[in-house]
Structure 1
Amino acid sequence: MKSNIIKQYKVIYSLLITGVLLVGCIEEFTPETKDYESLLVVEAVLTDEYKYQKIKLSRTFKFEDEGAKKEEKAEIFITDNLNNKYSYSEIEPGEYVSDIAFKAEKKDYQLYIKTANGDEYKSTPTNLNTGNGITNLFGKIATNSNQEEGVSFVVNVQETSGAAKYYRYEYEETHKIIAPWYRNRKAVIVSEDPPKIEIEYKPDEIGKVCYSTNKSSSLILGSTEGLNNGQLVDFSLRFLERDDYKISNRYSILAKQYVISREAHTFYKTLNDFSSSDNLFSQIQPGFLKGNIENINDESEKVIGFFEVSSVSAKRIFLNITIFLPTRFQEQNILLAVLLLLRKK
């Protein structure tokens, strides 16, 4: 009996020592940035939409910092080859809007920036890139790379010129939210001293239904290069799994297409490849990715960004997911009815 107790103590002691050693071997890793350079970051797109055009300026930031620092109090203007000048004013920190509404035409445009510390930058002359707009936007049942079923939102572009075209896409999605356990009651504080609360019944269903809107945050690039017919067919912009709450009720997506130059496409594609998780911590780190903007007085200074002059088209669709996946929603509705019945009991 005594020997068994001693053996149990030895086992417990060994486990405790092992646990201490394991915990002691784990050290928290806090990455720190070395050889940091504060580089100007330019987000400049001039489109053929008649509107107040926008440009954003910021600075690169360290890995451990919370976010990018906005580049404030800069002077910005765009010129064309007919000596027209379009000035911009800062409306929010780092965000600049043209003083007048205008649109890009078949001209050469050049961007000029002067920062608050006196540094001057310019882009190479850039012409308007044109092409056919989005021919069709629709959703279809598909599976992703993980063989998960859902809805893929795709675009078709019928390019009649025959020349290779390059595209950049953005989307804005809106979905309807219906509170699953909504109650038309609310608590009202009648008195704080002594504390007293009464329950009131709301005469309407305000708060039961709301809508959420989100914009795309990743680079979506398309190209007809290498395609014999020059058509972009069923190019996927967005995939949502069949169980995604965004398509549970009502869903809408607005797709926006920018026709960009081959140089811009190469820049964004390389940037996208370098930014992927596979390359972020790779042993071979990429060099600097140069765009079409440079310091006028110091060509060796690195500037991040690309000045685009693009034609734009957009399409929006509304989707009732029960058309695509009716069986699932019939099952879901039956399950919801059962849960509601149980809650009432």
Structure 2
Amino acid sequence: MRVNKKYILLLAISLIGAIAFQQCVEPFTPEIKKYSNLLVIDGTLTDELGKQVITVSRTSSYNDDEYIAENGCTITVMDDQGNIYPYVGKGNGKYEAEFYRGDLEYGRAYMLRVISNDGEVFESNYETLMPAPRIDSVTAVYGSKVTVELPDGLNGYQFFVNASDPSGNTRYYRWSMEETWEYRAPYRVSYMWNGTLHDFSFADDRSRCWKTAEIPGIYTGTTRNFSKNVLRNIKLNYVSTLTERLKWRYSLLVREYALSVEAYEFWSGLEEQTQETGGLYESQPYMVKGNITCMSNPNEAVLGFFSASGVTKKRIFVDPPPEDVNDLECPGDTISIFNPLLSYPESSYPVYLFEEKGSGIMVTAERRCFDCLERDGTNIEPDFWKD
């Protein structure tokens, strides 16, 4: 749970109301010093075996979006049968624990304890691990989305989730998402210059890569006011043609969590406060209270929520849209007497080149235009990928 400016604002119990009555509109930056340097604990214990992660950080000031990792903590999860599961620090505020068969049981309650590096002790309430119902379906609709910045509309895919629980055990839901997209390098390298010109090709395929990223945002839903335990066409993320992610092939993995009432109130409150509004002061920010308390100092505020939840997953693929999609720009740089290879400094090595349509004319460009790994992806096709 990275804490940004909007999240800092929602923690304030109230803002200075007199601002609304000022006749002159002037730039204003609220000072919310009270909510700086607070501990932020983010963790969901799921029913998945293997590594699980707890993240601990500190809030920055309103004027600073910096992520402040809290390293050096002692973190354990305990269940209601007296078992203790220690977490190991991995740097950047992340802590990992390995869970095995028999550690995670439905109906068993778990709680989190964090001892910060200044010695304060924080504990969550006990949360009961519940199974999550299967996701009915994930769908995608291509169309135009109107925004304040683009009143004429922006084309792209809107994703939706459909969920239900015939057993009636789950009334409160949260979804998180992970996206994977294929991208390509537009040029194939034929030569390489590093002070000497060589025939050259990569030992492996660098023309086609994949990249995976978590999608930010909070998505919740509930059926508590419905006669049937069914949710239909709940909006998830939107991917526009302004990004290269839709150029070749795109996949979305949706995870569904079963929440307790308390967990739902926390996440839905946070979702409401972090949604975009027409103006900063249109809605009154308020403190979204979690289930974690500082046991060593009850007056010490702490942010976050520890959940125990089953998780189910469903993946969807979409093909490139019918309209043009933004792609990596790779203008070529022709080698000539006016632009000789000898003019390229050593700091630019290796310089990759290709021959322009058998003409003998060599052209170079940025390395990422030849080598897709230069764009932080992988050229190993994911196991789940479907062409």
Q: Normalising by the residue count of structure 2, what TM-score does the alignment of the two structures yield? A: 0.67
Deviation at 1:308, TM superposition (A): 0.3
In 1, the alpha carbon distance for the partners of 2:226 and 2:235 equals 17
Q: Secondary structure at the match of 1:321?
A: coil
Cα deviation 1:93-116 (Å, max 9, x = unaligned):
421112554434311212112222
Structure 1 residue 62: Cα displacement: 1.4
Alignment match, 2:252:
253
Q: Which residue of 2 aligns with 1:291?
A: 290
Instruction: Structure 2 unaligned segments of length 5 or more: list them.
Output: 1-25, 148-152, 327-355, 360-387
Shift of 1:249: 1.2
**Identity among equivalent pairs (%):** 28
Paired positions, count: 297
Tell me, in whole angstroms, the C-alpha distance in 1 between the residues paired with 2:123 and 2:73. Answer: 13
1:320 maps to 319
| CA distance 1:228–1:44, shift in 2 (3 Å) | same
Q: Is the 8 A contact 2:132 2:170 kept in 1?
A: no
For residues 28 and 303 of structure 1, do their structure 2 counterparts lie closer, same or farther at Cα, with a shift above 3 Å needed?
closer
Q: Over alpha carbons, which structure has the higher Rg?
A: 1
**Distance in 2 separating the partners of 1:30 and 1:235:** 35
SS in 2 for 1:170: strand
State the one-letter code of the partner of 1:298.
Answer: N
1:36 and 1:238 map into 2 onto residues whose CA distance is 30
Provide the rounded CA distance (Å) in 2 between the counterparts of 1:314 and 1:112: 28
Deviations 1:101-144 (A, max 9, x none): 44343112121122222211111121123341212223233443
Amino acid at match of 1:45: T
**Which residue identity lines up with residue 309 of structure 2 in the other structure?**
S
Q: CA separation in 1, counterparts of 2:232 and 2:90? A: 40
For 2:342, the equivalent position in structure 1 comes to none
Corresponding residue for 2:104? 103
2:199 aligned with 1:214: no
Deviation at 1:244, TM superposition (A): 4.3
TM alignment of 1:231-242, pairs within 5 A:
231-242=230-241
Counterpart code for 1:248: K
Q: Distance in 2 between matches of 1:297 and 1:204?
A: 58
Give the ranges of 4+ consecutive aligned residues of structure 1 lying more than 4 Å apart after TM superposition.
Answer: 27-33, 145-149
Give deviations 1:150-206, integer Å, cap 9, x for gaps: 3222222231023662221111111111234x243344123xxxxxx5364648894
2:138–2:315 contact (8 Å) kept in structure 1: yes
**Counterpart in 1 of 2:179?**
173
Query: Superposition RMSD on alpha carbons, in Å?
Result: 3.2
Deviation digits for residues 265-308 of structure 1, max 9, x if unmatched?
22122222223443883287534321101011332321100010
TM-aligned CA distance change 1:254 to 1:74, over 3 Å: same
Output the amino acid matched with 2:164: Q
Q: Structure 1 255/287 Cα, relative in aligned 2: closer, same or farther at 3 Å? A: closer
Higher relative helix content = 1
Deviation at 1:30?
8.0
Unaligned runs of 5+ in 1: 1-26, 191-196, 333-342
Q: Secondary structure at the match of 2:305?
A: strand
What is the CA–CA distance in structure 2 between the aligned matches of 1:292 and 1:122, rounded to whole Å? 8
Write out aligned runs for 1:1-345 (5 A).
Answer: 34-65=33-64, 67-98=66-97, 100-101=99-100, 102-146=103-147, 148-162=154-168, 165-180=171-186, 182-190=187-195, 198=197, 200=199, 202=201, 206-242=205-241, 244-278=243-277, 281-282=280-281, 285-321=284-320, 325=322, 328=323
Change (3 A) 1:293 1:243: closer
Q: Distance in 2 between matches of 1:176 and 1:304?
A: 37
State the shift of 1:48 in Å.
0.9
Q: Contact 1:188 / 1:200 at 8 angstroms: preserved in 2?
A: no
SS of aligned partner of 1:263: helix
Name the stretch that deviates more: 40-49 or 131-140.
Answer: 131-140
Contact 2:49–2:99 under 8 Å retained in 1: no
- Contact persistence 1:274–1:280 (CA under 8 A): no
C-alpha displacement of 1:145: 4.6
Rounded Cα–Cα distance in structure 2 between residues aligned with 1:204 and 1:300: 60
Secondary structure at the counterpart of residue 151 of structure 1: strand
Contact between 2:170 and 2:258, CA under 8 Å: does it hold in 1? Answer: no
